[in-house]
């Protein structure tokens, strides 16, 4: 009986740990600073975002590309604190240092300007001017 109880407690602990590990964000270990501080890498990621062909995208690039529409639509309202921090850092860098590329990204992911208008104040409070 005691052995069964110990077994079930261990089983519950393993399930809880594996569930927590699965819930970890795919981009938690993504080094945004490395990309933002390397123009060649940054241009590669931007091209990935703009291109319809995912063949030129890294796994991380594909993940970012799939999330970008929601981030723009919600003002990162569903983001975790670490996701929000990376989004702010990335958007601030691209809007300030690569405005031509930002214009292209906006044209693709917010062609009507609806999300930019809707979330401009939210992003502005984080220091990002869309």
Q: Can you give the pLDDT at residue 65?
A: 92
pTM (global) more than 0.85 = no
> What does the mean pLDDT of the chain come to?
81
Sign, CA dihedral 30-43-37-101, equals negative
Asked which of 6-10, 64-68, 77-81 is least confident by mean pLDDT, the reply is: 6-10
Specify the pLDDT at position 6.
40
| pLDDT for residue 24 | 56
Structure letter (DSSP) for residue 110: -
User: pLDDT tens digits, residue range 44-53?
Assistant: 999 999 987 7
Q: Please tell me the distance from the alpha carbon of residue 77 to that of residue 114, in angstroms, as a whole number.
A: 16
Phi then psi dihedrals of residue 121, to 5 deg? -65, -40
Q: Is the pLDDT of residue 1 over 60?
A: no
Question: HSE (CB half, 13 Å, CA atoms) of 99?
Answer: 4
What is the fold, at CATH topology level, of the domain defined by 28-125? Answer: Antennal chemosensory protein a6 (1.10.2080)
pLDDT level of residue 103 (50, 70, 90 thresholds): very high
Residue 97: per-residue pLDDT: 95
- Angle subtended by helix axes 39-50 and 59-74, to nearest 10: 70
Domain boundaries, the chain: 28-125
Q: Residues 35-71: pLDDT tens digits? A: 999 999 999 999 999 987 777 899 999 999 999 999 9
Would you call 92 exposed, middle or buried from its count of C-beta atoms within 10 A (0-12, 13-18, 19+)?
A: middle
What's the pLDDT score for residue 16?
A: 34
Where is pLDDT greater, at 37 or 28? Answer: 37
């Amino acid at each position: 009986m005691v052995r069964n109880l110990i077994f079930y407690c261990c089983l519950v602990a393993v399930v809880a740990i594996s569930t927590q590990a699965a819930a970890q964000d795919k981009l938690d270990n993504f080094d945004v600073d490395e990309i933002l501080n390397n123009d060649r890498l940054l241009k590669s990621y931007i091209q990935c975002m703009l291109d319809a062909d995912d063949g030129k995208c890294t796994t991380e690039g594909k993940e970012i590309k799939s999330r970008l529409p929601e981030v723009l639509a919600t003002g990162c309202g569903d983001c975790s604190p670490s996701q929000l921090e990376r989004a702010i850092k990335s958007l601030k860098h691209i809007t300030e240092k690569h405005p031509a590329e930002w214009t292209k990204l906006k044209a693709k992911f917010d062609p009507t300007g609806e999300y930019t208008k809707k979330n401009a104040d939210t992003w502005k409070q984080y220091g990002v001017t869309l």
